[in-house]
Amino acid sequence: MTKASRQPMLLGTALMFLAAGTLFGCKDSFLTDAAAAQGVLDQSVLATSVGAEGKHIATYRALDYTNGVNGSQCTAASDWCWGSVPSDDAYKGTEPSDFTALNDIEAYHWGTGLADGVLNDKWRAVYEGVARANATISLLKQVAKDNPTSITATDQKGIEGEATFLRAHYMFEAYKIFGNVPYLRETDTDLRKAAENKAAVGADIVKDLDAAIGLLPATPRNGQVGRATQWTAKAYKGKVQMFLGQYANAKATLLDVVNNGPYALQPSYDQVWTGFKAFENGKETIFAYQASANDGEPNGNNANAGERLNFPHSGSPFGCCGFHQPSQNLVNFFKTDAAGLPIALSDPNWNADNSDMRAAYTASMNFDPRVDWTAGRNGVPFKDWGLHDSTWIRNIPNGGTYSAKKNVHEKASGAQSSVGWVNTQLNSVNIHLLRYADVLLLLAEAEAQTGDLTNSMIHTNLVRTRAAAKAQGPGTSTANIAVPINDPSITWAKYVINPYPASYFVDNATALKTVQTERRLELAMEGQRFFDLKRWGIMPATIAAYINGVGGGNEKSRRGYLPSAELPGARHDNFPIPTVQVELSKVDGQARVPQNTGW
């Protein structure tokens, strides 16, 4: 939905938040001590078309269920706590004593009490979203039954389709993180429902997405671009099918989206993660949390609150807090060879350099230009905020010298919030949950898996060619934040990037390695990496190499806390079920949601 039309609804949805949550007993968790759903509001109070739409908006709002609405930073829409920090993309960052629960997540000590607490935050957030979706569908059916003339058939289908899609999204979050979970629907009356195994959860997600596709229109309802459409649901279905290993089915689904859908790559990478209104909800956006600043909410909680910790610290223009810092391994991964191809694919010692990759050191090195849209590096312009430097880093020995950059707005964009705690780190930069580059690379992967190597190369190179369009510029004006990659104003790096030749797609194994490499480069720091490593079946080996040495370097010598990390094994394929949820699920002493294997 567009911000102009969405903001008034957000301002008036406090009651709807309460209704959507408490009607399904979700104040503290989705499971309650009572078998029946509890409520504080009579459904008839809300049983109007306005009530149904308001409750539905609350379902979208739960995408970023952070501290402003009873969640935490680890319930952020981007999944930075779960998809980036446990991977080789990012450190927790900041200093050891801040948000110590994340120390255990990063070091794979997931059975501790601190880890259990933030895992429960995520569980609550997921099922809050599910509860709101189910409450919307239930209320919609009541409105259609009791007051059918108050809501059009088009809106009935649209609201049900969007709510069903959102339920699928929240359940996919549960699938990715916890694996074996209960699948709650609007018809469930006993919320102490038994967990399904992971495969069954995946199948039910696809079933919900198919239902949504059948209900949703091809274009956003009411012209509000943030709403899910049938194309949103189709693209999401293709991604879920890839996670399920259904490569032929995923290929067919994703080809339909690419060949017939409304999406396209933005002309240049700087237009993807941005605060500029001109590029908001562009052709590349498939599904995003619609962050909103300066909309009348007094604390800025409708902005990108889930990312607010992930800005450079007190020496920077943002003031806080230095979390989610790119790893040395990740920054090294962006180096290219003389042919403009990833050095990680051509040099066995690609990761040997322990330098902080400051501008003075790297000016003659070959880099993929996406490095400087992804990581703030010392001596390199930080969008249009001036040169990033070491004073922006809270604790270099703990978090290294780089800052997260994609989530940061441009100074000239006007996207910064004027209210809220440390308002300089709140903005209206949308959080991409699924974008077209991701779909193209998923399709390329499906094609590699099914032996269609020529098209795999074509679709991968569409993404890589776009990456060569623009690089970080001096940022002294709006006009030169992004410049051609060979612009003479660039003195801090040498950007060299070229499409992959056919030799990188000569067989299935080589093609898959190439696509996997390109996914890391394109989607770095977007909360995807850990889940990719898991579904590829290479997470334990990749993380062990990351800690103990890969490509000539290891992180345990770069970050002093990593020698004490637990090397992940089979049990780390799923995070533990929060202890309180296991206990609350018990009926006659038997847990209907048992703990995951190994925990």
- The architecture that CATH gives domain 3-80+110-228+575-591 is Alpha Horseshoe (1.25)
In angstroms, how far is CA 116 from the centroid of its own chain? 21
In this prediction, residue 70 carries a pLDDT of 67
d(CA 292, CA 331): 30
Mean pLDDT by 10 residues, the chain (599 residues): 34 29 31 39 68 90 80 92 98 97 98 97 96 96 91 95 98 98 96 96 98 98 96 98 98 98 98 97 98 94 94 96 98 98 97 94 96 98 98 97 98 97 96 98 98 98 98 98 98 97 98 98 98 98 96 94 96 98 97 98
Whole-number pLDDT of residue 17: 30
Q: What is the rounded CA–CA span in Å between residue 459 and residue 200?
A: 31
Residue 13: the pLDDT is 29
Task: Specify whether the CB–CB gap between 409 and 429 falls below 8 A.
Answer: yes
Q: Is residue 310 helix, strand or coil?
A: coil
In this prediction, residue 34 carries a pLDDT of 35
Residues 6+ apart with CB under 8 A from 453: 447, 505, 506, 507, 508, 511
67 to 18, 72, 196, 472: CA distances (angstroms):
15, 5, 30, 33
DSSP string, 507-519: SHHHHHHHHHHHH
The separation between the first and the last C-alpha atoms of the chain, rounded to the nearest angstrom, is 41
**What whole-number distance in Å separates Cα of residue 123 and Cα of residue 173?**
9
Strand, coil or helix: what is 462? helix
Query: Which stretches of 68-130 are assigned E, i.e. beta strand?
Result: 90-93
CA distance 381 to 359: 10
Q: Which pLDDT score is estimated for 1?
A: 39
The radius of gyration computed from the CA coordinates of the chain, to the nearest angstrom, equals 23
- Give the distance from CA 526 to its chain's centroid: 5
DSSP three-state, residue 482: strand
Q: What is the pLDDT of residue 89?
A: 98
Would you state the pLDDT for residue 272?
98
Size (the chain), residues: 599
Strand extents, DSSP E, 60-197: 90-93
Residue 74, preceding peptide bond in cis (omega within 30° of 0) = no
What residue ranges of the chain are covered by domains with CATH 1.25.40.390? 242-528
Q: Where are the alpha helices (DSSP H) in 186-229?
A: 198-215
User: And the tokens for 444?
Assistant: 């390329």
Kindly report the number of other CB atoms within 10 A of residue 187's CB atom.
8
Report phi then psi at 490, rounded to 5.
-80, 115
Q: What is the pLDDT of residue 71?
A: 73
In the prediction, which pLDDT does 18 show? 30
Contacts with 28 (C-beta within 8 Å, 6 or more apart), sequence order: 124
Res 25: pLDDT: 30
φ/ψ region of 408 (left if φ > 0, alpha if ψ in -120 to 50, else beta) reads: beta
DSSP classification of residue 81: I
Q: What is the pLDDT of residue 68?
A: 57
Give start-end residues of each CATH 1.25.40.890 domain in the chain. 3-80+110-228+575-591
If we measure between CA atoms, which residue out of 543, 498, 534 comes closest to residue 518? Answer: 498
pLDDT of residue 271: 98
Give dist(CA 454, CA 448) in Å, integer: 9
CATH of domain 242-528: 1.25.40.390
**CA dist 201 → 179, 211, 217, 452, 537 (Å):** 8, 15, 26, 29, 19
495: left (phi over 0), alpha (psi -120 to 50) or beta: beta
Contacts (Cβ under 8 Å, ≥6 apart) of 402: 325, 326, 327, 328, 331, 356, 357, 375, 376, 377
> Cα–Cα distance between 256 and 251 in angstroms, integer?
9
Q: Report the predicted TM-score, pTM, of the whole model to 2 decimal places.
A: 0.93
SS3 286: strand
